[in-house]
Amino acid sequence: MTKPRLVTVFGGSGFIGRHLVKRLVARGDRVRVAVRDTEKAAFLKPMGDLGQISFVPASVLDDASVARAVAGADAVVNLVGILAESGKATFQRIHVEGAERVAKAAAAAGVGRLVQMSALGADETSDAVYARTKAQGEAAVRAAFPGATVFRPSVVFGPEDGFFNLFAAIARFSPVLPFFTQTAPALKRDAAGRPQIDLVGDGGPKFQPVYVGDVAEAILRSLEPEAPTGVTYELGGDEVLSMRDVMKLVAHETRRSRLIVPLPMWVADVEATFLQMLPKPLLTRDQVKLLRRDNVVSGALPGLRDLGVTPTTVEAIVPTYLVRFRTMHKQIILRDPHRTDR
């Protein structure tokens, strides 16, 4: 066992953060969880021994709180990110300015390792502000802390995810599970030249889901002394699923007979115009722009296996938590799967 480190984790109470904290304390490290609301993060305490996990109120939008959070740390991990803008929490402020603030503070404090969580598809030329600011955040972090390690995961799945759980919740009430596509429905001709309607097309955008435990393990290994620095990793599982495949999987695992139908992207744009007005938007127009491109690894950058992590399959994990959405589990699915206070 190497010497215990002090690791500051921004966003440590989030989906990926809680899995990372669990692994860090199991290794013997001390963990400082930097979050806006320390009381809501208290559920992490039982994961470690007495005093092993501490909490510090911090916002990546505030210089002083970030400086306090990284002071004396051996390593810093920034997992803070948003999927939709709300008030002062804009993509520019969180993904770019916030990431840069953490990197600058880490450099000034003499931190040895810095990990920045980005996203697969980060691209400064993207039409989507989300992807554009993720790329700009990477650049800002690299400028302030050249040795930073950057992770770009595809859709992350696990018991607390907002992906498979969302579609499973929709399947409880809706007789239809739609998938958005740019190639269907369309009029085509079969081998004999007869016209027919294609209701599948390419199945919609493709994803390469990666298990949250694998992402946490990859981060843990990137913090080891022998791990290379200044590397960008693309994280994806071994399976590539179209949006139609995802809906079929959800219908199967929830044991609900649902009609899986294609919807043109313009319909997604219309729906997003209204859904993005919700306090917690189910879909935004910026997200629709993301759906116009596949979310799979390029193969040009290292991935999980380069860190010694064998990808966990969707089939090994997803059924274990979607079971609660089956009709015989009504007493379970009425509970909020995201609550952590029990």
Per the rule left: phi > 0, alpha: psi between -120 and 50, beta: everything else, 14 is beta
Q: Helix count (H) and strand count (E) of the chain?
A: 12, 15
Tell me, what's the pLDDT at 192? 81
Tell me, what's the pLDDT at 16? 98
Which of 113, 19, 110, 117 lies closest to 60 in space, CA to CA? 117
Q: What dihedral angle (degrees, nearest 10) is formed by the CA atoms of 155, 247, 321, 304?
A: -30
Contact at 8 Å (CB) between 134 and 118? Answer: yes
Q: Which amino acid is at 328?
A: M
Work out the average pLDDT over 9-31. Answer: 97
Tell me, what's the pLDDT at 5? 94
DSSP H stretches of helix in the chain: 15-27, 63-70, 91, 99-108, 129-144, 164-173, 212-222, 243-253, 265-275, 285-291, 314-322, 330-333
Quick: pLDDT tens for 68-99: 999 999 999 999 999 999 999 999 999 999 99
Contact at 8 Å (CB) between 39 and 17? Answer: no
Q: How far apart are CA 151 and CA 79, in angstroms?
A: 10
User: Cβ–Cβ contacts within 10 Å for residue 74, how many?
Assistant: 17
Tell me, what's the pLDDT at 61? 97
Reported as a pLDDT band with limits 50, 70 and 90, residue 133 is very high
Tell me, what's the pLDDT at 111? 98
**Residue 198 phi/psi, 5° resolution?**
-90, 110
27-36 b/e (C-beta count within 10 Å ≥ 16 → b): bebbbbbbbb
- Tokens 């803070």 correspond to what residue? 80
Q: How far apart are CA 138 and CA 124, in angstroms?
A: 10
Architecture of domain 6-156+209-237+295-311: 3-Layer(aba) Sandwich (3.40)
Percentage, residues of the chain above pLDDT 70: 95
Quick: pLDDT tens for 292-315: 999 999 999 999 999 999 999 999
Q: pTM here?
A: 0.91
**Token pair belonging to 254:** 């929830």
Quick: pLDDT tens for 165-186: 999 999 999 999 999 998 877 7
Quick: pLDDT tens for 259-278: 999 999 999 999 999 999 99
Tell me, what's the pLDDT at 63? 98
Q: How far apart are CA 294 and CA 155, in angstroms?
A: 11
Tell me, what's the pLDDT at 333? 43
Whole-angstrom CA distances from 300 to 93, 227, 234 are 29, 19, 9
Reported as a pLDDT band with limits 50, 70 and 90, residue 337 is very low
β 176-181/156-157 pair status: unpaired
Q: How far apart are CA 303 and CA 21, in angstroms?
A: 21
